[in-house]
Structure 1
Amino acid sequence: MEQTREAGLYTRRFGPKPETGAPAAVLVHGLGLSGRYFVPLARRLAAEDTPVLVPDLPGNARSRGAARRAPDVGQAAAALAHWHRRLSLGPTLLVANSVGCQVAAALAARAPGLVSRMVLVGPALDPDVPAWRQCGALIRDAPREPLSLLGVAVSDYLFTGPLRCAASFRHALRDAAEAFEANLARIRVPTLVVRGAGDTIASRAWTGRVAGLVGDGRTAEIPGAAHAAHYSAPDALAELIGKFTAADPGGSA
């Protein structure tokens, strides 16, 4: 793993160095977190000679200094697009988790030329679920995740800061109510929506709805995993991603 700072965002690189205009995979973390919990999946994707980049979004963890306050979803997507262009990446595979799916959707809707396909893992937030129930679902999910993930998450939340996490949650709720579904409806790239079978946050009905909103969506479920399936079941998710990218014309990412 190589660690760099690109366009103000702390970035982890795995696999071969991405060539200008060539495809790569970009992994987008959830609210208040860093890209650390994507490392198991990043390593597996990179083992197939895929360039993999995992940025910390602005205002989060090691990119905390890239924003004076917690950016909203649209601002995070704009910063990610700027980062993408500075790196001269070709259309990429976006793999996102939780609220990171809202950032990925905003990016794909606003800058479609930057994205070749998407994988949304445990997309949040369902606009029909009240905020207090979303928080309750997160609490119920915690015991279903590996203990090591909880350590990573707590450390990242403290690094990002509770006030920024709270502000980011408010921004995410507003985006879910006002823009997320509209952004999904504008997406035409092939999109795989994945949930862990034990996910208490992204229900089967909601993931089906997300897949139905995009122009070319499909769903998959990983047994034995919960909300962070990319961390607890990286081999299973990497296999799903491999089949998904191989099934679509245009090469693998």
Structure 2
Amino acid sequence: MPPRDSIPALVLVHGLGLSGRYFVPLARRFAARGAAVLVPDLPGNARSRAAAARAPGVTQLALALAHWHRRLSLGPTLLVANSVGCQVAAAFAARNPHMVSGLVLVGPALDPGASGRRQFGQLLCDVPREPVRLLGVAASDYLVTGPLRCAASFRRALRDSAESFEANLAQVRVPTLVVRGEGDPIASRSWIRRVACLVDDGRTAEIPGAAHAAHYSAPDAMATLIQKFMANELRGPA
């Protein structure tokens, strides 16, 4: 099926220290349905580690994403982000509303109400809940990014969470779907409800049997959720 003009392109935004590889299962689902799907690697992370001399902060990553978006001359796109990638997507959407048709925030992190130690512990709790294949992909990406750079990125993401994340969300004016896996120890139900309330037009959903990376462990369920969201909120009148 060829891409439909009424369906925006999807841009998939990975989390801290990772590459876009763990979005491949979801990307394949949408490509098979005829959608245009782009999966950038943010500078300073994994395979794009050399693109930044130091670990970029969330704002720098959002600026880099906007530069990439302009270079490709993309129209308004649907951003699908995971974990700390949700902070990047929120910063991007707040600064570039004309580039965004909608947001899907999967397991948004980091929660400003939780300490860095607590959130690191929650990340460790998530490990046994994820598919073994994902753990291999993540471990490989983290090794390429490097432990020192991952730690620096985590500190900068914590700072953005405390200072800017909620303010950026409050500036988001496009339809937003906030999703968590039922077993996600990082993004709680109360937190995703708050995220949905902060944006101008938000709603929530939960995927049974999935954890923090629900887009990887349950790509069919995630694709169905996103497709319904796009059909109901983004296509507009026929």
- Normalising by the smaller structure, the TM-score range is over 0.9
Identify the residue that residue 193 of structure 2 maps to in structure 1: 208
Aligned pairs for 1:91-130 within 5 A: 91-130=76-115
Identify the residue that residue 142 of structure 1 maps to in structure 2: 127
Cα pair 2:44 2:145 within 8 Å, conserved: yes
> Normalized per residue, which structure has more helix?
2
Q: CA deviation at 1:17?
A: 9.0
Q: Which moved more, 1:241-250 or 1:98-107?
A: 241-250
Cα pair 2:14 2:83 within 8 Å, conserved: yes
TM-score, normalising length from structure 1? 0.90
Q: Say whether 1:86 aligns with 2:71.
A: yes
Cα pair 1:186 1:215 within 8 Å, conserved: yes
Amino acid at match of 1:250: R
Aligned-pair Cα RMSD in Å: 1.7
Aligned pairs for 1:1-253 within 5 A: 23-250=8-235
Q: Distance in 2 between matches of 1:68 and 1:17?
A: 38
Cα pair 2:13 2:85 within 8 Å, conserved: yes
Amino acid at match of 1:246: A
Cα pair 2:86 2:109 within 8 Å, conserved: yes
Return closer, same or farther for 1:27/1:69 CA change in 2, 3 Å cut-off. same
Return closer, same or farther for 1:251/1:159 CA change in 2, 3 Å cut-off. farther
Q: CA deviation at 1:246?
A: 0.3
Q: Distance in 1 between matches of 2:2 and 2:170?
A: 34
Q: Distance in 2 between matches of 1:109 and 1:81?
A: 11
Cα pair 1:18 1:24 within 8 Å, conserved: no
Q: CA deviation at 1:250?
A: 3.3
Return closer, same or farther for 1:16/1:170 CA change in 2, 3 Å cut-off. farther
- CA offsets 1:201-249 (integer angstroms, 9 cap, x no match): 0000000000000000000000000000000000000000000010024
Q: Distance in 2 between matches of 1:42 and 1:251?
A: 23
- CA offsets 1:116-174 (integer angstroms, 9 cap, x no match): 00000000000110111101101111100000111111100000111110110011000
Q: Distance in 2 between matches of 1:87 and 1:48?
A: 22
Cα pair 1:245 1:251 within 8 Å, conserved: no
Cα pair 1:18 1:51 within 8 Å, conserved: no
Q: CA deviation at 1:23?
A: 3.0
Q: CA deviation at 1:29?
A: 0.3
Return closer, same or farther for 1:131/1:18 CA change in 2, 3 Å cut-off. farther
Cα pair 2:180 2:207 within 8 Å, conserved: yes
Q: CA deviation at 1:87?
A: 0.4
Gaps of 5+ in 2: none
Aligned pair count reads 236
Q: Distance in 2 between matches of 1:182 and 1:81?
A: 19
Q: CA deviation at 1:46?
A: 1.0
Gaps of 5+ in 1: 1-14
Q: Distance in 2 between matches of 1:16 and 1:92?
A: 17
Q: Distance in 2 between matches of 1:141 and 1:167?
A: 21
